[in-house]
Structure 1
């Protein structure tokens, strides 16, 4: 699914049905390629991601609830990049929804950031930026902000967290996932305050 990184992919995840993965674990799969997967995952109260040990490198952004793994307990708004995570230790004590990318990198990293308490930095124009990793950030767009037309060297991937992201090709409400290939270009803007999770140059 959406395995060709040379093609644009667009999914309004609000229109996707949750698929049962295992007991009390539900998925909305956005992209798969070899061992790589990009998905939204929902764990119900007092459930675990996997009953068996399975080790992945992961990037996780917690959208709702509490995410628990071998490194601790993480609330909504936490970003994690981990070179090794044991799925049998991933659980929640309430309902939890998170965006997850598995096996997309091979370097030894452990990054954990609470974006609810981290500082926004000045970006281009009136944008605010919260760096999460070299190629990953949160970007806050104020009302009626426009960005310069630009190309995506190495591609771009966006998950809309709040508001409505827009460009000349369409409108993307909260929950939209957009992946644009290498050298694609667009002219993005917003009409209301909008926050996006964005990765660039990783394709």
Structure 2
């Protein structure tokens, strides 16, 4: 299965374009943002857990990255509310579930094989945020192959200046204008290597998840 698998193209998916598809597990649906493969796939998705739904124990050979968007997401007896960022490194095993229901942003099979970092960050905690010029930034993870953070932009502030080395973002609050396209909360954008995007925060400002550096190898393969 191929979904938005051409990494040389700019991709924008807004919430009105969401196509919810049932997963093999009862009560769990997903929106496939990009995907290469079938059930064992390199994939980026929005995943929705109905109340009481769960997966059995399973492994992630190439890792899993999660940001909780709403509700409470659980792994056995650990419970994560909206705003938590999680990284389960390659080879990790977990049993995800949600008693009350949850929506999460998930990236599968996209970590470096040598990554051994298990990360748990509550981005609602002000201690994780720092000022960088006009904006606030919450660093989530950084390595030689990827940089992940949340960025809180002031109204009218540009997210980038000039050409970028590929990036991916998810609008968490507010609004971003990408070129001439309005992207509200829940919009996902993937920007190819060498793009010069004009992305401006709307009149209420915006907060977004931002990941960079991870698309260079895929650009070479495209």
TM norm structure 1? 0.90
> What is the alpha-carbon distance in structure 2 between the residues aligned to residue 174 and residue 145 of structure 1?
17
Q: 1:147 to 1:179 in 2, by over 3 A?
A: closer
Aligned to 2:187: 176
> What is the alpha-carbon distance in structure 1 between the residues aligned to residue 122 and residue 84 of structure 2?
4
Indicate if the aligned counterparts of 2:167 and 2:212 stay in contact, CA closer than 8 A.
yes
> What is the alpha-carbon distance in structure 1 between the residues aligned to residue 107 and residue 30 of structure 2?
12
Equivalences, count = 199
The alpha-carbon deviation at position 141 of structure 1 amounts to 0.9
The alpha-carbon deviation at position 55 of structure 1 amounts to 3.0
Indicate if the aligned counterparts of 1:14 and 1:176 stay in contact, CA closer than 8 A.
no
**Aligned partner of 1:81 among 66, 72, 87:** 87
The alpha-carbon deviation at position 145 of structure 1 amounts to 2.3
Aligned to 1:109: 117
**Aligned partner of 1:142 among 154, 169, 173:** 154
Matches within 5 A, 1:91-106: 91-105=97-111, 106=113
Runs of 4+ in 1 over 4 A off after TM superposition: none
Give secondary structure in 1 for the equivalent of 2:99: coil
Aligned to 1:45: 51
> What is the alpha-carbon distance in structure 2 between the residues aligned to residue 33 and residue 26 of structure 1?
18
Give secondary structure in 2 for the equivalent of 1:80: strand
> What is the alpha-carbon distance in structure 1 between the residues aligned to residue 120 and residue 77 of structure 2?
9
Indicate if the aligned counterparts of 1:14 and 1:175 stay in contact, CA closer than 8 A.
no
Unaligned runs of 5+ in 1: none
Unaligned runs of 5+ in 2: 216-222
Please say if 1:28 is aligned against 2:13. Answer: no
**Aligned partner of 1:160 among 155, 168, 171:** 171
TM norm structure 2? 0.83
> What is the alpha-carbon distance in structure 2 between the residues aligned to residue 71 and residue 51 of structure 1?
14
- Spell out, residue by residue over 1:5-43, the C-alpha distance to the aligned partner (whole angstroms, 9 max, x if none): 121111113431322113111111101124311001011
Indicate if the aligned counterparts of 1:167 and 1:187 stay in contact, CA closer than 8 A.
yes
The alpha-carbon deviation at position 144 of structure 1 amounts to 2.7
Indicate if the aligned counterparts of 2:73 and 2:97 stay in contact, CA closer than 8 A.
yes
